[in-house]
Structure 1
Amino acid sequence: MRHPEYQYLDLLARVLDAGDERIDRTGVGTRSIFGAMVRFDLSDGTVPILTTKRVYWKTAVKEMLWFLTGGTNIQSLLRENVRIWTDWPLDAYRRETGEDIGQAEFERRVVADDEFARRWGELGPVYGKQWRRWLGPDGHEHDQIADLVRALRENPTSRRLLFHGWNVAELGAMALPPCHMVYQYHVTSDGRLNCLLFQRSVDLLLGAAFNFVGATALQLMLAQQAGLTPGELIWVGGDVHLYLNHLDQAREQLTRSPRPFPTMTLKRRGADIDDYRISDFEVTNYTPHPPISADVAV
């Protein structure tokens, strides 16, 4: 049987070989295709943590746990040593103040100074806000995650088992509109929980690996909370792209052969969906190739 990671590697090769090259929002430029799908079977305990480069899976899981808190400020992320969201508020700070501050100093200020963090560490109404506190026109806040858990338990055959983050009214206030924007779930008659994640835009070299891990972690938590077992993770990408300063790194990754996927397990059952911590996740038998570094386009 062909290793499932080849789905990702084939996608890398397709974008490299046949992607449409154009200037994008960031000014870096991309090579992109439109429309792609990969499928990973989680039922045997293995999970899609890529092996052709090291993926810092704890960072991805911490990010997902942060989304579930409803948080929108990078201070709590930085206190967990997660720096993947710093680029956007740092860029805003430099533009608005004219101060040529380094990332390390900016992060130090955000962590140490609550007032500074409130002003400059805020990302706007991004993922967590929409997932847990979507504001309706009547002023009522909707907790999409709590509603989903309830529906998985009480009405598992529903075709409305989903949540999303594309709140048109608040897009302009977000540091970055949601990329992974719709998560839909499906429960089989034998109790397997499947997930289809639609991602409108994906940085294939840097972002996709984290998105696979985050979605997997969420699927494991939801399955446990609803008394189900993990099934398939189906990832669908809209604009699937490589930044032009990532092409050499993609070519390097394509020279590597996949190794067996690791397993991910939850060491305890959370009292509810809000009761999980990074220490609850255990990954075993992860032996990847070395990491591949690349710059984030802001």
Structure 2
Amino acid sequence: MIEANDVVKRRAWRHPVSLSIEKGERVAIVGRNGSGKSTLLQTMIGVLRPDAGQVRLLGRDPYRQPAVRRRVAVAFQDLSLDGGYPVRRTLGLHAALFQIPKKRMAELVRRFEVPLEATSFHMSGGQQKRAELVKALAQDAEVYFLDEPTAGLDREGVGLLGEKLERLRRREATVVLVTHDTELLPVADRVIDFDELKERSARMEGEVQKLVLELSTWKPELDPKIKAIKPIIGYEVEPNPEVLQRLGIPPELFKGVVFVDDADEAGLAAAPGGAQQISTDILFERCRLKLETSDNRAALPELLKLLVEHEVRVLGVLEGS
């Protein structure tokens, strides 16, 4: 149903990635914020053209043969509602374009409680997301692409989405979910970690180098800034094992960067005499920053400048000097 062969979008990722999705599969694509998941989705449906490689959607090139897009349904993360007109107009045009029966559209509008007379500017984020989902779910499509479908939805909205996904499963429709919502993953037959896909591709080209620094501490505001350093492919921050041992915290509780205010949030048993208070400063004293880069020499100057600006000292280089 969907094939991406050695696809590159240089502003989002520069190593070729490949994946295929079979008919009737329900696939979840996960990854960090800004990793390029939405760009991948837009490339698979032909909204964007790959800089290299080839995409096939239902056997056709969706960028060069856009007519194939009429056979797919898409709920975008960046909502595609017309802000200057009532939602009724947007849904009506969509129904006419895709020949959606009025009864089906009206039923979904009722179930998802979409305010038809409101413009998107006067709707909450959850209402906008419901309207975007109605547009996609009303179609009788062969493939459904849903980008962050639960973002902004309340519990009732998530439940309605679950019902519709189950109905699509019975229809054996192909569904592609781009999501950060771990509670949505059980509905998928397969989970694709896009970060791992890119990193595997980089390793195959022999361009990944490792770098491990020992830092005086860690600050959460560094996360988006480190991700923005181009030579850095992936990274992980882990507390010093000696600190974890001293605090009596099992290392398996920590995967990546985890910040806790107290023992309860970390799922730890309270210490005798009351809850054990764990500060971020103590937890990440002499922590380790483990990076994979395309070029350590290119990454280090910008990385070190960033650490200095945030008053984080480098205590040592453990690997990849």
Give yes or no for TM over 0.5: no
Q: Which has the higher contact order (CA 8 A, sep 6+)?
A: 1
TM-score by length of 1: 0.31
- Structure index of larger Rg: 2
TM-score by length of 2: 0.29
